[in-house]
Amino acid sequence: MELVQILECKQTMSQEIIPIFYDIEPLDLKDHRNSFEKSFLEHKRNGVDSEAIKKWKLALKEIGRLKGFETAKIHNGHHSKLIDELIPIVQQKLKKGRLTVTKYLVGVDHHVREIMRKLGVVHRDGKVIEICGSDVRILGIYGIGGVGKSTLAKFVYNQLYDRFQCYSYCKEIRELCQHDRILSLQNQLISDLRKGSVRFRCSDDATIVLAEQFRHKWVLILLDDVEDVDQLDVFVGELSWFGLGSRIIVTSRKRDILLKFKEAETYEIEPMEEDKALQLFSKRAFGRDSPSKGFESLSNDIILATGRLPLALEVTGSLLFGKLEGTWNDMLEKLKVAPHKKVEAVLKISYDALEENAKQIFLDIACFLIGKDERIAFYMWEDCKLYPSSGIEALLVMSLVKIGENNELSMHNLLRTLGRGIVLNEDPLPRNRSRLWVHNDALSTLWKKERTWSFLICPGARWQMNGKKAKKLKVLELTGCSQLCKTPRFPADSKLERLTLEQCSHLSFIDKSIGNLKTLKSLNIKSTQIALLPEEMGSLDNLEELLIDETSIRHLHFLRGSMQQLKTLSASSCKRLAEVSESIGCLRSLSYLALDKTIIPGLPNSVKLLEGLEELSLRDCRRITALPNSIGMLRSLRKMDLSNTRIQILPESIKNLDRLQVLRMKNTHISNFPKNITNLGKLEVLNFSGCRSLTGKIPCDISGLSSLRVLKLSFTLIFSLSESISDLSHLQTLHLLHCDKLQTLPKLPSSLVSLCWGTNNMSLVQELSYLRDLKVLELVNDPNEEEIELSQTESFGWISALSNLETLKLCLPNVTSLPKDFNALTQLKKLDLSCTDLLDLPPLPSRLSKLILKNCQIQGMDFSNLETLSELELCDCPASEISGLGNLRLLQVLKISRCNVKNLNDLEQASQLRRFSVSECYYLNRLPNLSKCASLEIKEINFCSIEDQPCEKHYHNCCLRHCDCSYQYQCGGLCIL
């Protein structure tokens, strides 16, 4: 009987069975009813062996227990629909449709989690649990070439495809479209979704089929390397082309590729974190997770030279596999000049796709504008007719450049190297190149050529203004001109737009002619001795930015109707500023106001007139005790920082700030959690840390804070959290350190990424294994000795379930052991244990970079598997032996104090050591030979019993205090007899 053989295959070969009960019920098989009962009776009459009949009955019974498909109950017996339902299940079992992904996957977990979240997928422990939402969703994954977009997208696709009715992966779309192969890609997509080969002769016909035939299909589509919207349109003209619940993933170098879809989500991939980059490189270069002995420093240098770009790491690592040190040094020098040709080709695709004006801007940034203010560079580009608005936008869209919070320009190291390489290849002679950034090259060329400049930068120099030559001057930066005592006279026809006088330490006077600067947009007089702003500044009708931080100004007063375009007013650290007059209400365009570290007693009531104010900072204004009730009229306010003020209560009108996203009140005198903020639905960050008067309960219902991401209540006296905190589905950070009255926690939201809780009166820590997204966990209990119940021990078996943990700190009494599978926390980088009753250590996660052990009872320590450890601190541990120090070849910091350690054998192998400190280790009788540690900067040995050793074993910056050795203490120098 075939069923017996099928079951034998299942048992011996682990094969799977999918039963299809064709017009029969499973119970008929399991209970041998109806036609099966008759058949067995007939077999018995015909003399069939009773053992054979017994096997058949057991087989039928086993099959009847399996979950399968009953044809009569599915789609009213429509076999074709049953087949449609069966195909993806069979394909899932066979893994048919799975894409090939490199085996060298490193550091993708956090990317996958975020992408799955954006796709509405419940994803846990590397498995898809559920796909939520019946809407069609489209996600764009973007980033520079070689950053790993395609690899990550394929990895996500592999985890999802078997959950959909139809699926398709279209690769290399940009390249194929360049060769007029759009139709072949459309044919592939339709064939995949139809599960049968098709061949259209016209792209328009294929587009019509895509638009009309899959509206009721639940599909997954991956479109890889899409260059522009026209390419996207032939595959996904509208989301309505596909059935509800469908998911579409698009990878591109451009962040705006999905701009036409209002519902679209985007996700940017950045270069790898340093430790992940080292791991990926090591896999390629050494066939293991960390560098081989002697190659640690070179590996780190190459990681830096490649800019942590995955493609560059893999290419370079593969080329260096099995090579001698000399080849490594040659490769490092080459990388400093230009990326490997394979990597360069990938990066240059983005550069080649730019318009000519954007290319020139890209080269300017790469050669000499990284870290510079892009607003200043705009003037140069405008004067050169490079149309910077569109050029910069193109670079941002392609992820070729970034602009920081302070408008500073930046780009990836490899892109900078690429840009400079393009300029270097223009001509062998520097003077014939378009750009010069090497000082000597530039200086020699400038002596021989004359230029007409559109902007002037004169840091730290004496300066005089020449009216004739300065007529077209738009940017004047005189930062650090120490000889400048007053501003020059500005001509009436000046076109100046930006004037920077920051850190002109002797500047105390602004000439009245500043009123002539009708086109001035930005005035920066930070860190000068100016005490008075002349009335003529009221004529600066176009001024948008006024920076007067760290000046001697005593009061702020503005003429009625003046400075109507002013958007930014920064007067932080004006330590003599005691008054802001009611006239500030005249600045109707103001969006940013910073008065940090001033001595003003409060804000004027007229602040209510600043209807466009988005950010208000009063940090460290220690004379402010209250806000005016009119603060509630600032309906545009998004950020407010009241930290280190003496405010005790927030006005009732605070509830009207319905756009407020950030409220910081660190170290204020507030005594009760303000109920009038509990319905601010857009509030994302709330910080009451250090408010030592804050006591009592958090209000019963804080679920109205539906957007809250960060809640910080450390160093307060609160004694309970609201149960409704579990409703805050966006909460990621919860800090409760030194909350000494908070004994227990309610159920917390599963969205938490960082949880820090510390008290001196903690009850047993409840299980937190449901917080699967946690990356940071700190639990600190520091009770008085008489309060410790020695009979009560903590069990932390659940902690191994927190597979995403990167930082773990446990400072708890009554913890005697950690779970045996503690090394399952493969993402853990930093571990801090201060558990007074901890008796032993289980195997630790091998990727730890920092380990701190304090006040533990551990007798033996073995660190031989911690090859990536860079910092180790041991304090008050009785262990006399430390094994595995010779494997810590990446160790940079070692601190040992009040331990019973007798020797530090094999530490000589830690050639990367920068700091070595031993204190009060009275059993330690000799020091290791650290002569190979070329990077050693600090060496401290305090209160130890070190035997005599050759003087050359002590180095610069060695401090020996009260040691029982023949060498005396000499601070900062060589040890002497």
**What's at 546, amino acid-wise?**
L
Q: Can you give the pLDDT at residue 956?
A: 44
> Which residues are CB-neighbours of 218 under 8 A, at least 6 positions away?
164, 165, 166, 243, 244, 245, 246
pTM exceeding the 0.95 threshold for the entire prediction: no
Q: Which of 518-527, 794-803, 957-966 has the lowest mean pLDDT?
A: 957-966
- pLDDT greater than 70 at residue 95: no
CA of 359: how far to CAs of 363, 390, 414, 886, in Å?
A: 6, 12, 16, 51
Mean pLDDT on 312-320: 91
In eight-state DSSP terms, residue 89 is: H
Averaged confidence pLDDT in the chain: 85
CA R_g for the chain: 35
- pLDDT greater than 60 at residue 518: yes
3-state secondary structure at position 960: strand
Q: Can you give the pLDDT at residue 963?
A: 44
CA dihedral 50, 55, 56, 59 (to 10 degrees): 160
- pLDDT greater than 90 at residue 42: no
Q: Can you give the pLDDT at residue 282?
A: 92
For the segment 810-866, what is each residue's pLDDT rounded down to a tens digit? 998 878 888 888 988 988 999 999 887 888 888 899 889 899 999 888 888 888 888
Mean pLDDT on 298-314: 90
Confidence band of 455 (pLDDT split at 50, 70, 90)? very low
In 748-806, where do the E strands start and end? Answer: 754-759, 776-781
CA of 674: how far to CAs of 194, 686, 695, 734, in Å?
A: 59, 11, 11, 18
- pLDDT greater than 70 at residue 446: no
Scan for tokens 């940034």, then name that residue: 365
d(CA 723, CA 491): 67
Contact (Cβ atoms closer than 8 angstroms) between residue 189 and residue 196: no
CA of 511: how far to CAs of 456, 574, 726, in Å?
A: 20, 21, 60
Contact (Cβ atoms closer than 8 angstroms) between residue 923 and residue 932: no
Q: Can you give the pLDDT at residue 969?
A: 35
What are phi and psi for residue 641, nearest 5 degrees?
Answer: -120, 115
- pLDDT greater than 80 at residue 763: no
Q: Which of 207-216, 382-391, 756-765, 856-865 has the lowest mean pLDDT?
A: 756-765
Mean pLDDT on 293-318: 90
Angle between helices 310-320 and 274-286 (to 10 degrees): 30
Token pair, residue 543, equals 């001024």
d(CA 253, CA 396): 10
3-state secondary structure at position 816: coil
Q: Can you give the pLDDT at residue 648?
A: 94
Per-residue DSSP letters for 580-592?
A: E-GGGGG-TT--E
Burial class (CB in 10 A: 0-12, 13-18, 19+), 92: middle
d(CA 743, CA 758): 9
Q: What is the percent of the chain where pLDDT is above 70?
A: 89
Q: Which of 347, 517, 481 is nearest to 419 (CA)?
A: 347
Most confident range, picked from 405-409, 542-546, 697-701: 542-546
Q: What residues are paired with 687 via a beta bridge?
A: 664, 712
Q: Which of 155, 161, 156 is nearest to 116 (CA)?
A: 156
Q: What DSSP element (H or E) covers 416?
A: helix 413-424
Q: Can you give the pLDDT at residue 975?
A: 35
Q: Can you give the pLDDT at residue 814?
A: 79
d(CA 222, CA 207): 17
For the segment 46-94, what is each residue's pLDDT rounded down to a tens digit? 777 777 777 777 877 777 777 677 777 776 666 766 776 676 666 555 5
Scan for tokens 């941002």, then name that residue: 396
Q: Can you give the pLDDT at residue 13?
A: 63
